[in-house]
Amino acid sequence: MKLRSLASAALLGMSAVKGIDLDLGSDDSIKKAASEVAYGMVKYYTGNNTGDVPGNLPDPYYWWEAGAMFGSLVDYWYYTGDETYNEITKQAMLFQVGPNNDYMPPNQSRTLGNDDQAFWGLAALQAAEVNFPSPPDDQPDWLALAQAVVHTQIPRWDNSTCGGGLKWQIFTFNNGYNYKNTISNGCFFNMAARLAKYTGNQTYAEWATRAFEWTQNVGLMNERWHFFDGSDDLINCTRVNHIQWSYNAGVYLLGAATMWNITESDVWRQRTQGILEGTSVFFKDNTNVMFEVACEPNGKCDVDQRSFKAYLARWMAATTKVAPWTRDYIMPKLQASATNAALQCSGGDDGKQCGLRWTNAAAFDGSVGVGEQMSALEVIQANLIDKVSGPLTNRTGGRSRGDNNAGSQSETTPLKFNEITTGDKAGAGILTAFALAAICGGAWWLVH
């Protein structure tokens, strides 16, 4: 297919397609590029087809990534004003709320971790912060949905091991119940900080501070402000899996910047600055081009990991709004990364599918999917950040309705689960063994 189209292009004397056009000096060019990449992403979505389930992506994409994708479409509207995807976004985000309006739909309970739930909650929180068109009056508003996610997670804070923290999994029968992972705690921290900002409610700020300090104390973040994947509560978190993922740095960065915005304190400024400098591990040498250091060089990024750069880009851009002094550090990175990402969007039948590796933009790397599209989309549209207003609050025009009791039903109406088989229970033990192997194995990129 590709060869033939190249051949016919040559016959017609045309030059081969080489990526989408992007001129960072022109808002229209950025919007057009974003629209092409968004179109390429939404092509994967089947949830609005007759007979399909709104909010779900087809295999191999997990439910959480669909939540992340709708977050990127909320961003897309925020940055470009293009309403093309608003209806499917709203439909999906309301269809997946579950019986208690807290993003815990029973269909997903077999893979539902705190982080999975949070990626949908984050999409709702973004929607609240930018006045994304509200749901109908008889349905929960974006703010209430985001609150529900945090409110269901507060009682899961687990002091019984590791001095606190959230476990990765919510249900004992799922693989990874013993793992306390950084992204779950990071999402909780990020959302609590932003809810504190939006509502002005100090309770959220206290939880944000607690989650941050726990991460630090347990060693999931080190003195160089690097974030590691997680630890195991069966060993009371005495050893840490040292793999570094870009989304962990990103989620803590925006949370810390938001806490600085609320407090204007030196301690949060120092934390924000430290995390920001710590993100340098995700930028290739001196190029300012973002890469997923743990898996791009060795070609082992799985389907989830191929989307992680989307969130670092998303949260770096948002950071410039709440902590404006970070802007000069961040923008050159978003610019260089977007330029290379656009060049990498040069594959597939239409010559516009985005590849994974922006560090080698000269040649399409053949890796395509929702994660690749979403990452390119977020980093390209992030270059419009100076043209949009910062996150709203309920004192500065944010219209989303909140609910202090959101998420409280979950404790009183237990969900019914499918029967758990012995195989699943054995699986939990096997995964823990893998996690420990990774902990002992160490990670080379730490020492460079």
- Contact footprint for ligand NAG (CB under 6 A): 42, 48-49, 53, 84-85, 88, 95-96, 105, 107, 151, 157, 159, 162-163, 199-201, 203, 210, 218, 236-237, 261, 264, 321-322, 324, 390-391, 394-395, 402, 404
To ligand NAG, the closest distance from the beta carbon of 311 in angstroms equals: 19
Name the residue nearer to ligand NAG (CB basis): 237 or 275: 237
Distance in Å, CB of 357 to ligand NAG, minimum: 28
Contacting residues for 249 by C-beta, under 8 A, at least 6 apart: 226, 227, 275, 278, 279, 281, 282, 312
Report yes or no: 96 and 49 within 8 Å, Cβ to Cβ. no
How near is the Cβ of 38 to ligand NAG at its closest, in Å? Answer: 10
Q: 165 Cβ partners below 8 Å, 6+ apart? A: 157, 158, 180, 185, 211, 214, 215, 218, 237
Q: Which helix (H) or strand (E) holds 173?
A: none
The residue among 281 and 374 lying less far from ligand NAG, judged by its C-beta, is: 374
CA 243 to chain centre: 17
Tokens of 322: 């709440």
- Report cis status (omega within 30 of 0) of the bond before 60: yes
Least distance in angstroms from the C-beta of 52 to ligand NAG: 9
Q: Which residues contact 210 (CB under 8 A, 6 or more apart)?
A: 157, 164
Q: List the structure tokens of 121.
A: 């909650």
Residue nearest to ligand NAG (CB): 390
Shortest CB 51 distance to ligand NAG, Å: 10
| Minimal distance, residue 387 CB to ligand NAG, in Å | 14
Give CA 116 to chain center in angstroms: 10
| Nearer Cβ to ligand NAG (351/402) | 402
**Residue with the two structure tokens 């929180």:** 125
